Amino acid sequence: MAASRSFRWPLAARMRSSNSAMLRRVLSLSVRCSARRTRRSALCWVRLPEKELRSKNDELIHLERERGRLENKKTQAEMEEDNILQKLWESYELTRVTAQELRQPMESLSAANRRIGELRAAIKKLGSVNIDAIEEYARVSQRYEFMSTQRNDLERSKEELLKIIGDLTKSMKEIFAVQFRAINESFRHTFTEIFGGGSAELRLEDESDILSCGIEIRVQPPGKQLKTITLLSGGEKAFVAIALYFAILKVHPTPFCVLDEIDAALDDVNVSRYAAYMRTLCDKTQFIVITHRRGSMEGSDILYGVTMQEQGVTKLLALNMNEVEAHIRETLQ
């Protein structure tokens, strides 16, 4: 834009210089004409030859015409200068003083015209000017700063959450590893006590990912080979599961426990073992057992039953086995 302005200005400067020269010439002619008139009036009594007088008159007429022509040319130059200054303001919003400050020397007119064409093409490529661009930029910039702040807050929150998750995961792995070893050791002893021998252990399928990997249960009942729990019979699977549950209760006892038909798949011998071992845990845990097996009922302290002696009338019965046993002993004595 600045280069384009500097190339337009020298034309106006040359026109102004030419106008000044023409003005000086017109003034000189006017002075000469005035001097001639004065001399002519002063020397009117001198009688000049007719030929010389005609020549002087023709010269005077020529000078008058020349002065008129130069004055017209001056007026045209001034109008053209005004048009150039007006166009300079309308196109580039530059005054004469501002244009003089931005003026640059011009090496050649062809190079200047070529440069003007290049700058006009570059300006044309910019497209139309959006007069609301400044307000729009301010609005978009404010929105961008707000969204950037929100994004930064979310990223910081994400990093903090990931750090917390990492710390929790690390703690969970440590706690799980300690508890797994304790439960595994308890499971070995519990299995041996319930089954009357044999061996059992818990194994992690992938120790590098203890929180997501599976756990393999390997048992060897008395008189049998070492097997995984999937190769055992239904009753053996149920008894191994009971042994594992009691092993967990021994590591982390609970004050209250409800067992619903977990002895349904056991045979009578294993039901008796199950009931006898459950009584060893009654010091720390109170059991409520829902069962239909006789061995489990015989090992209980109190029996609760529901009967319907009359149609539509339900009756709850309670039987304290300790009181019954004492009453039987008194009767026998």
pLDDT in tens, the chain (333 residues): 333 343 344 444 444 555 555 556 655 655 565 555 555 544 444 455 677 778 878 888 888 888 888 888 888 988 988 888 888 888 778 888 888 888 777 778 888 888 888 888 888 887 777 778 888 889 999 999 999 999 999 999 999 999 999 999 999 999 999 999 999 999 999 999 998 888 999 999 888 888 889 999 999 888 888 777 888 888 889 999 999 999 999 999 999 999 999 999 999 999 999 999 998 998 889 999 999 898 888 888 888 888 888 888 888 888 888 787 787 888 876
CA–CA separation, 30 and 37 (whole Å) = 11
> What are the pLDDT digits (tens) for 95-122?
888 888 887 777 788 888 888 888 888 8
**Residue 147 pairs with which residues in a beta bridge?**
none
Contacts of 232 (CB under 8 A, 6+ apart): 219, 221, 240
CA–CA separation, 24 and 21 (whole Å) = 5
Nearest to 257 by CA among 249, 265, 266, 268: 249
pLDDT at position 124: 83
Can you tell me whether residue 303 is helix, strand or coil? strand
pLDDT at position 245: 94
Q: What is the DSSP string of 18-78?
A: HHHHHHHHHHHHHHHHHHHHHHHHHTTTS---HHHHHHHHHHHHHHHHHHHHHHHHHHHHH
For the four alpha carbons of 267, 272, 278 and 280, in that order, the dihedral sign comes to negative
pLDDT at position 26: 54
Burial tier of 239 (Cβ tally within 10 Å: 0-12, 13-18, 19+)? buried
The number of CA neighbours under 13 Å toward the Cβ of 17 is 6
CA–CA separation, 196 and 19 (whole Å) = 130
Read off the DSSP letter of residue 322.
H
Which single residue is written with the structure tokens 């020529």? 62
Phi, psi (rounded to 5 degrees) for 77: -65, -40
Can you tell me whether residue 276 is helix, strand or coil? helix
Q: What is the Cα 125 distance to its own chain's centre?
A: 35
CA–CA separation, 78 and 65 (whole Å) = 20
Do 29 and 63 contact (CB within 8 A), yes or no?
A: yes
Bridge-based pairing of strands 256-260 and 286-290 is parallel
Do 223 and 181 contact (CB within 8 A), yes or no?
A: no
CA–CA separation, 139 and 37 (whole Å) = 77
Read off the DSSP letter of residue 312.
T
Read off the DSSP letter of residue 210.
T
Q: What is the DSSP string of 224-235?
A: S--EEGGGS-HH
CA–CA separation, 26 and 19 (whole Å) = 10
227-228: strand order across its sheet:
199-204, 215-220, 227-228
Contacts of 293 (CB under 8 A, 6+ apart): 263, 264, 266, 268, 271
Can you tell me whether residue 260 is helix, strand or coil? strand
CA–CA separation, 320 and 201 (whole Å) = 39
